[in-house]
């Protein structure tokens, strides 16, 4: 493997498969022995905030403004934060709202990401073909390399 600094984007959602993707991202970044360390961006994409309707008097706040958010955030990012701290790898955490594949691809282009690491969903054939797959959409549309981690 070439010892070049890489900007690595890892998709995080708190699932065991995203934790495995986080571990792969740290392993990839730690393999870089050059003086310029690779950097990991951990990104959580939340669904679009619900839109208020005519019958709503007060729209629901985004989940990031709930009283339980800090505890949830800690659990979601625990593995990547711990692994990066242990390995001395720079980490930047990002949260976004929208379609996960679209947000990951847009961020990758904006930040000049070298590789996106994402977990496969493990959906069945019919469900994947009807609903689509975030990892499949990222693989097809990203301009950088994509590493899909399987369970």
63 occurs within a structural domain: no
The neighbour count for residue 145, using CB atoms within 10 Å, is 13
Name the residue range of residue 40's domain: 7-48+70-149
The predicted structure's pLDDT at residue 1: 47
Whether 38 maps to a domain, the answer reads yes
pLDDT in tens, 59-118: 665 666 667 778 888 899 999 999 999 999 999 999 998 999 999 999 999 999 999 999
Q: What is the CATH number of the domain that holds 96?
A: 3.40.50.620
Q: What φ, ψ does residue 91 adopt, rounded to 5°? A: -130, 135
CA distance 72 to 80: 14
Residue 65 within any structural domain of the chain = no
Query: Mean pLDDT across the chain, nearest whole number?
Result: 83
Residue 40 clears pLDDT 70, i.e. is over it: yes
Report the percent of the chain where pLDDT is more than 70: 78
Weakest-pLDDT range from 2-11, 46-55, 82-91, 96-105: 46-55
Burial 19-47 (b: 16+ CB within 10 A, else e): bbbbbbbbebbbebeeeebbbbbbbbbee
- Reported as type and span, the H/E element at residue 149 is strand 145-149
Q: How many domains does the chain have?
A: 1
């Amino acid at each position: 493997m070439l010892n070049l600094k890489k900007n690595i984007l890892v998709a995080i959602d708190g699932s065991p498969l995203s934790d495995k993707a986080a571990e792969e991202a740290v392993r990839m970044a730690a393999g870089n022995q050059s003086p310029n360390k690779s950097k990991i961006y951990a990104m959580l994409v939340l669904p679009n905030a619900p839109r208020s309707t005519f019958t709503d008097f007060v729209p629901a706040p985004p989940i990031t403004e709930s009283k339980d958010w800090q505890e949830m955030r800690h659990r979601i990012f625990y593995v990547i934060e711990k692994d990066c701290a242990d390995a001395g790898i720079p980490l930047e955490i990002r949260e976004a709202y929208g379609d996960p594949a679209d947000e990951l691809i847009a961020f990758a282009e904006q930040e000049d990401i070298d590789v996106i690491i994402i977990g496969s969903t493990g959906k069945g054939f019919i469900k994947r073909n009807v609903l689509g797959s975030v990892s499949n959409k990222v693989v097809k549309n990203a301009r950088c390399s994509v590493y899909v981690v399987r369970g």
